[in-house]
Amino acid sequence: MSEKSQNTYGGQALIEGVMIRGKKTAVLSVRSPEGEIIRKEVKFSRFYNPKLLKIPLIRGILNLIDSLVVGTKALNYSAVVAEGKDYDEKSNSGFNLGILILISLTIAIGLFFVTPALISQLFEKIGFNKIMISISEGILRLILVISYIYIIGLSKDIKRVFQYHGAEHMAVWAHEDGKELTKESISNYTKEHPRCGTSFILIVVMVSIIVFMFFPRENIILFIISRIVLVPVIAGISYELLKFGSKSRFKLFKTLLNGPGILIQKITTREPEDDQMDVAIDSMNYAIELNEN
């Protein structure tokens, strides 16, 4: 058994693959239709600035943007490789990538921020006060997020992505605990992880309830604009809470902050199969190779 890792790793489930992020670079491993595991390094985006990443709140926003860029690149690559096609680097970078991310963000903000905000306006007509309306908006937002995750999880392909999600967490757990990365060792760990992006999403929902409470609802245009403009601010605050929660020595605080996210991960993760654990282990080993040597 090796010593516990001093390095922090995160990751993302892909289509027939797993991406692992370290401090220096991100890597991914994807299984081709022929059964071969194909590796690729994905460089961080220009938003990943080590100096700016030391500034509270700002680092959360930059990390979110960088994660979107790197994650979208990795997801596109995995989709192409999983279909047995050749990946075209030029068509999946720069302008095309930016348009794809912009469209995805527009849909996400419209569905999960603007929609519940507009629906919550109806509660004012039945006598809800400002605090109750803000809480109702947050609950609606949470219901939409969970419903969306549950519905897409009914797809056979997404179920496999959720299995890779579980395998990714198990590999990260094992490495953090200093264990040798084998199917036998990582299978002893839970498929849920407190630093998962799912936990981040839930914290965003809780923070949004508090932040939006301080902004007027009377002017419908300003009301909608606030839901869009304040997304980066909420993301920055949520990132700091997630970061603090993962390092906090107060068990009760960690449980309150991470507990709900762990419960949501019961939906976003599945128990992986052996071949999926092999891919997660390969990606973790490749990440260690490039980030620690």
Give mean pLDDT, residues 10-29.
Answer: 95
Cβ-Cβ contacts under 8 Å for 278 (sequence gap 6 or more): 37, 183
Distance CA 109, CA 256 (A): 26
Q: How does pLDDT run across 183-204, given as a tens digit for each residue?
A: 999 999 999 998 888 888 888 8
Mean pLDDT over 110-138 rounds to 90
By C-alpha distance, which of 167, 173, 172, 196 is closest to 278? Answer: 167
Determine the Cα–Cα distance for residues 74 and 270; give it in Å rounded to an integer.
Answer: 21
Q: What is the DSSP letter of 92?
A: G
Tell me the residue type at 179: K
Q: What does the alpha-carbon distance between residue 204 and residue 69 come to, in Å, rounded to a whole number?
A: 20
Q: Look at residue 178 and tell me whether its pLDDT is greater than 80.
A: yes
**Average confidence (pLDDT) over 149-175:** 96
Question: For residue range 84-95, what is the model confidence (pLDDT) as tens digits?
Answer: 988 877 666 777
5 Cβ contact partners less than 8 Å away, ≥ 6 residues apart: 175, 176, 178
Secondary structure class of 250 (helix, strand, coil): coil
